[in-house]
Amino acid sequence: MRLDRFLSESTEMTRSLSKRALLRGEVEVNGEREKKAARHLAADDRVTWNGERLALVGLRYVMLHKPEGVECTARRGLYPRAVELIELPKVERLQTVGRLDVETTGLLLLSDDGQWSHRVTSPRRGSAKVYRATLARPLEGGEAERAVAAFAEGILLEGDNAPTRPAELEMLDSLEARLTVHEGRYHQVRRMFAAIGNHVEALHRESVGPLVLDADLAPGEWRELTADEIAAF
């Protein structure tokens, strides 16, 4: 790896700022001042900047309890971004693994490991996603039974060409439902309830595949995944 690239990936400097730091004599390799941006580093080379030992930022895997009013986009928009809640070096490299809309709360995964993210979201894997929904109108009795059956069979959503995959609907009470889906269509949960004539007032994601939202995380808090959690996908 070129030295200027190493500097840009191990600090907050850009490539151009890294080259300026080199010209100012701020960088040493193995104890010797180095000014050549194109120098290729060996695996065991020791790089310091203003006396501080540098190391590359590795791959990161994060669980966030997403609060309401936060969006899952890379570009800055009307709302705070999920990545802005996380305090890690080079945080802009993190990408959301799937998305939650601005109003939906709960488990959100972020990573800079593209292959891992693909495994989590791949339609072929069909990782179960569990949501808790608060409904605008009571759903009970025969109507609730018909909704359970309809979700289990699959629902053709407006604008789609194929029905949803079978989903498991559990009514916790007349206004609270737990829904397990096995795909990630646009606003899927909200659209499924709209298709049966109801409306989701609040939506919270409890789990993705084997990962359940850590009960110790308050809205807006995050933690890095454990090795076992990463390997679960």
pLDDT of residue 142: 95
**Catalytic choice (45, 101, 160, 216):** 101
> pLDDT band for position 183 (50/70/90)?
very high
**Best CA proximity match to 222, nearest among 88, 91, 53, 64:** 64
> pLDDT band for position 74 (50/70/90)?
confident
> pLDDT band for position 47 (50/70/90)?
very high
Query: What average pLDDT does the segment 140-160 reach?
Result: 95
pLDDT of residue 11: 87
Q: Tell me, which fold does domain 3-53 have in CATH?
A: 3.10.290
pLDDT of residue 78: 87
pLDDT of residue 222: 98
- Decide if 173 is catalytic: no
Q: Which residues of 5-33 are buried (b: 16+ CB within 10 A; e: fewer)?
A: bbbbbbbebeeeebbebbeeebbebeeee
CA-CA-CA-CA dihedral for 52, 56, 58, 60, to nearest 10: 60
Query: What average pLDDT does the segment 56-74 reach?
Result: 93
Q: What is the mean pLDDT of the chain?
A: 94
The CATH homologous superfamily for domain 61-231 is Pseudouridine synthase (3.30.2350.10)
The segment(s) of the chain belonging to CATH 3.30.2350.10 are 61-231
Per-residue pLDDT at 199 exceeds 90: yes
Helices 3-10 and 15-23: angle between axes, nearest 10 degrees: 110
Query: What average pLDDT does the segment 105-118 reach?
Result: 96
Query: What average pLDDT does the segment 103-113 reach?
Result: 97
The segment(s) of the chain belonging to CATH 3.10.290.10 are 3-53
Query: What average pLDDT does the segment 14-31 reach?
Result: 94
Per-residue pLDDT at 10 exceeds 90: no
